[in-house]
Structure formats: structure tokens, C-alpha cells
Amino acid sequence: MRVYQAELKRIVKTRSVQILFLAAILVSALLAYFPQSFVDYVYENREGEEIKVSGRKAIEMIQKNQGDFQGAITEEKLSEAVEQYQDFASSYEGGLPDGIYDERVQAVDYYKYVSGINGFLSRIREVYADPDTGIGPDLNELTVADAKGFYEQCRRHVRELLYLENGHTARGDSAVALAERFYDHVKMPFVYYPGIRPDALEYVGICTFLLVVIGTILMAPVFASDRQTQADQILRCTRYGKRRLAWGRILAGLTVVTVMYVAGISLFLLLVNLPFGFQSLKTSLQILWTAIAFLPLNIGQAELLIAAAGYVTLLSTVCFTLFLSGRMKSVFASGVTAFLFLLIPILLYMMLDGNLGNWICSILPSGGVGLSNSFTYAIIDTNFAFAGNQAIWTPFLMMGAAAAEIVIFSILTVAGWSKERL
């Protein structure tokens, strides 16, 4: 315990650690501002002037305009949404063959009549996509009958999409069986409360990625600094300078990044959700993102899950960084190598495709964070990795690999530090 306390004090008192801790707080607060800044709303005032508002004012206008299209989104409400759009389109001569992108559609009319129901119409189009091409119907092709069969079609679309992506093979059968087992737990009808936007969830993933980056930089010097100054030769000659010191440093390092991460992500979640209203967090993941999301979560639960997954990824990445720090002879080499490995999943995701790419990107220590390769997108995607014909959903693979790597790289770090000859 004394070794742990001494190492914790040493790390906390380091000026670079204090600066990076402050940077994590500032980055989290800054990121939380962006999702609300992207919200726009256009309305017409009493003088007939077109007014555009953004940010919190726009959120308030959207919530006020939502009317009855909130709460449980039954098939009756979806039918009303289709009828409302059909009435809107029929008010234009010849209809709207190009949908809301028709040049005759004014911004004021779009926000007044369509913006509140556009998300529901998108979900209907999504689940009625052609099973052979994956292309959804145009808005003017939607019917009330489509809306009334929406939830049954959701289950059907899960099968159609997975067979489209994996083929009618043993692998396709395995993926469909696993997906349907997950999807059986999704609550229907979906629930919607206006406010929160999809990009708010994306920014949770971005925040976790940046906090992992900062955590990696924090831990790169922990062992490498002593090797660089050759102080490790003296430390390993002391009574507790090998195994106990190594475990003390690892635990102290994990404590520091844990406090940093919890403080940063907690501040971010509070600030990002405050302007949207916490009521909107009850919105189903399926209605805001994609109708075939496998997990039975609302947006608030999805945010917490992404934050938790980010923490597991942080620990696995930090343990790998500590392993590198114990093997490298300089802080620079340790930091650069750790940062490169942090970016590898992002690069490989863009370069590799198919089963091999899914495996490699998922099992690397930092595989749960990044950009389009991250856990955030994995939980709303239908990507599976296959061991033979057995399907494994990539979010499970990411977290399983990360949990194992926390243990493996901790043990390897201690073994390497303890057994290295002076």
C-alpha cells in the first residue's frame, strides 16, 4: 500500500499530469457545446418575416412544434405522420417528386409541417428497403398501410438486411439467429421525446476517444522515464523495487486515468444533455438512429453504455501503454509507439474489409474508440465477426478483447519489469 501511495503521489504531483488532467476537463466541456450549436429552426413571425434561430432557442421551438408526435410512437401515429406528409406534398402542384428537396419547398414550411415527423418517415423508409438492393422507397411512395405494418416489418427487415450483407449461407444463418435473439428484447412501440439529436450520441463517442488519447499520453512516461534516466537500475535493486513497485505503478496509473475519465465524461454528459432536456433521453435508440438497433436501450442508457465501453477501452489501452513504457528506453519512443497503436484501428478500418478487418479492428486494445470504427457505431451497426460459421457481434468482441487485455498486459508489464536484467 505504501508503494502504491508513493507512486500515486509522484504521478499526481507531476506538472504534465496536472496540465493534461485540466485539458481533459476543458475538452469535455468544449465538446458538450457542439451538439446544441448545430440545431436550427426557421419560423415566420407576425410580420411575415422569416426568422432563423439556433442552439437552445431552436431546441425549444422544436419541442413546442412537436405536438402529439411524442411518447409511444404507435402505428396510428406513424400513419398520421404519413398522412400529414401526403397532405403537405399534395399542396404543391404535381406533388413533390423530389421530396423535401424540391426547390419549391420553403424552409419555413419544412420546419412547420415536416421537420417534426421526418425522423419517423425515415424509419419507415428504412425498414421497407428493397431486400435485394437495400435501397429504401422515396417519401412519395410511402402509404398508410406501410405505417400500419411498421413494427412487423422491423423484424422482417432485420432478416433481410443480414442476409443481404452475409448471403444465404451458414454464416448468414448464424448472424440472423443471433440478431433476432437480441432484437426480441427490443421494446415496441418505440418511444420518442423531442430534444436530443443523433449527433449528441456521436459526440459521446468522440469524447471517450479524446479522453483515451489523453490517458495514453499520461501513462507513456510512467516506466519509460526511469529507464531514460537509468533510475530503474537503482529502483530494481531495492527491496520492493521489482514486482511490488510495478504493481504499485500500474494501480496508481489506473487510478489517475480513472479519476480523469470519470470527471471528464460526467461533465460532458451533464452539459450535453442539459440544453436538450433529460426527458428526451427516454427516446428509443431505434427511433433516433436506426430501427434495427439490436439493443433494447433508450438514448440515456446508450450514452452510459458508450461511456462504460470507453472506460474499459481506456483501461486496456493504458495497460498496453504501460507495457510499452516498461519496454521502451525513452519517453518519446514510448509515447509515439503508444499513439501509433491508438490510431491503428482507425486506419485499418478504412483499409481492411470483411471478416479479417472486423477481427483485427475489434481485438486491438484501442478498438472500442475512434471514429466510424468505434463502439458507438458498432452498437447501431450489423457487423459480425465470424469464427468459422459462428457469428460474434463486434461490440461483444471489442469489450471481451479489451477486458482480457487489461489482465494480459498488466501481467506482462510486471513480468517484464521484474525479470529484466540490470
pLDDT block averages, 10 residues each, the chain of length 422? 84 90 94 91 83 88 85 94 92 83 86 90 94 88 92 94 92 94 93 90 94 93 76 65 81 94 96 93 94 93 96 96 87 89 90 88 92 91 92 95 95 81 44
* 171 and 263 assigned to the same domain: no
Listing DSSP states for 35-86 in one string gives HHHT-EEEEE-TTS-EEEEETHHHHHHHHHHTTT--EE--HHHHHHHHHHHH
* 30 and 77 assigned to the same domain: no
Cell digits of residue 331? 519517453
* 170 and 49 assigned to the same domain: yes
Cell digits of residue 277? 432536456
Cell digits of residue 341? 497503436
* 27 and 76 assigned to the same domain: no
Containing structural domain, residue 301: 2-37+197-419
What is the model's pLDDT at position 27? 95
* 288 and 375 assigned to the same domain: yes
* 186 and 212 assigned to the same domain: no
Listing DSSP states for 108-164 in one string gives HHIIIIITTTHHHHHHHHHHT--TTT-PPPPGGG--HHHHHTHHHHHHHHHHHHHHH
Does pTM top 0.95 for this prediction? Answer: no
What is the model's pLDDT at position 169? 93
Distance CA 370, CA 226 (A): 31
* 224 and 103 assigned to the same domain: no
- Indicate the residue among 192, 213, 247 that finishes a domain: 192
* 343 and 219 assigned to the same domain: yes
The domain tally of the chain equals: 2
* 18 and 99 assigned to the same domain: no
Cell digits of residue 327? 519496454
CA angle 264, 313, 196 (to 5 degrees): 50
Cell digits of residue 324? 510499452
- Indicate the residue among 164, 192, 220 that finishes a domain: 192
Burial tier of 249 (Cβ tally within 10 Å: 0-12, 13-18, 19+): buried
**Bond prior to 97 in cis (omega within 30° of 0):** no
Distance CA 163, CA 111 (A): 37
The DSSP element (H or E) to which 391 belongs, if any, is strand 390-393
What is the model's pLDDT at position 241? 60
* 224 and 329 assigned to the same domain: yes
φ/ψ of 284, rounded to 5, equals -65, 140
- Indicate the residue among 167, 192, 217 that finishes a domain: 192
* 25 and 102 assigned to the same domain: no
* 155 and 282 assigned to the same domain: no
What is the model's pLDDT at position 73? 94
What is the model's pLDDT at position 226? 67
Sign of the dihedral through C-alpha 319, 320, 322, 323: positive
Cell digits of residue 392? 460474434
